[in-house]
Amino acid sequence: MSETMKPTSTVTSETSLTDAAVQAGRDALLAAESSVQGVGSWLWGAFHDRPYVGGIAGAALGFGLVTTLGVAELVVSLLVGYAGYRMLAYGESPGEAIEKTLAFRGGKLLEEVEEETET
């Protein structure tokens, strides 16, 4: 052998079928996540622009949930729908919207009723 031609060593790496499957699954999950995130972002914007549609969707979701559980469907679905409307229309947090929805008395919030009784 001449000095210019030195023997080369080849390094082989072991690959497994599971590595390829894991990578393909990860890529598929990331693609699905970005699609769902895009749809969710679009829906949130659409419901925020038209809060009554979000209220109706919330009421339908509440009705479906409560029908499964077998409770007073209409009352709970209306309350969930109204809380959803409050979140979207007034920008309230879910806890605040639920609290104000449950404190609703005679067409007025509890604070308004208290103000009337004081005067």
Please state the domain extents for the chain.
20-49, 51-119
* Residue 1 in this model has a pLDDT that exceeds 60: no
pTM attached to this predicted model: 0.40
As a whole number, mean pLDDT of residues 61-83 equals: 77
Distance CA 11, CA 47 (A): 58
Give the HSE-up count for residue 19: Cα atoms under 13 Å, Cβ half-sphere: 4
Q: What is the pLDDT of residue 67?
A: 74
103 with 77: CB under 8 angstroms? no
